[in-house]
Amino acid sequence: MSRRVQRLNHLFREELSDIIRTELSDPRISEIMSITRVNVSADLENADAFVSVLGDAEEKASTIAALSHAAPFLRRHLLERIRIRRVPRLHFELDETIEEAAHVLDLMRQVSAEKRPE
């Protein structure tokens, strides 16, 4: 991955987070959500934004659906904020790595507690 694409990944993540927080008012979007990372393709055609949502399966699905529906709005705002010729099409995907890591940590604590001599 080139340095330019890495910089764009970081910039898109920061700007998307800010736009969603300040400009987007959709009740379907969970209160506790964050953009964990963005992967912009080398040709700048597509960008996959990974979203972490704290909540149940219904909240996660509605948040992803709302963000996907708002993708053209977000793309226009990105075009205003970032000076590049072409802003990629946005695709939102659920990122559950934080929850998986928390689950693994809980399992490790359980194993550790079971191995302690009493």
User: What is the C-alpha to C-alpha distance for residues 68 and 105, in angstroms, rounded to an integer?
Assistant: 31
| Domains held by the chain: number | 1
Candidate ranges 67-71, 83-87, 93-97, 103-107; pick with highest mean pLDDT = 67-71
Map residue 39 onto helix, strand or coil.
Answer: strand
* 8-66: pLDDT as tens digits: 999 999 999 999 999 998 899 988 899 999 999 989 899 999 999 988 899 999 999 99
Q: Report yes or no: 24 and 6 within 8 Å, Cβ to Cβ.
A: no
* 3-14: pLDDT as tens digits: 988 999 999 999
Give the pLDDT of residue 118: 61
Map residue 81 onto helix, strand or coil.
Answer: helix
- Segments forming the whole domain that contains residue 48: 3-115
Q: Report yes or no: 35 and 15 within 8 Å, Cβ to Cβ.
A: no
Q: Residue 90 pLDDT more than 90?
A: yes
Query: What is the DSSP secondary structure assignment for residue 85, as one 8-state letter?
Result: S
Give the pLDDT of residue 59: 92
User: What is the C-alpha to C-alpha distance for residues 118 and 66, in angstroms, rounded to an integer?
Assistant: 51
CATH number, residue 99: 3.30.300.20
Residue 47 vs residues 39, 80, 108, 111: alpha-carbon distances, Å: 5, 17, 35, 40
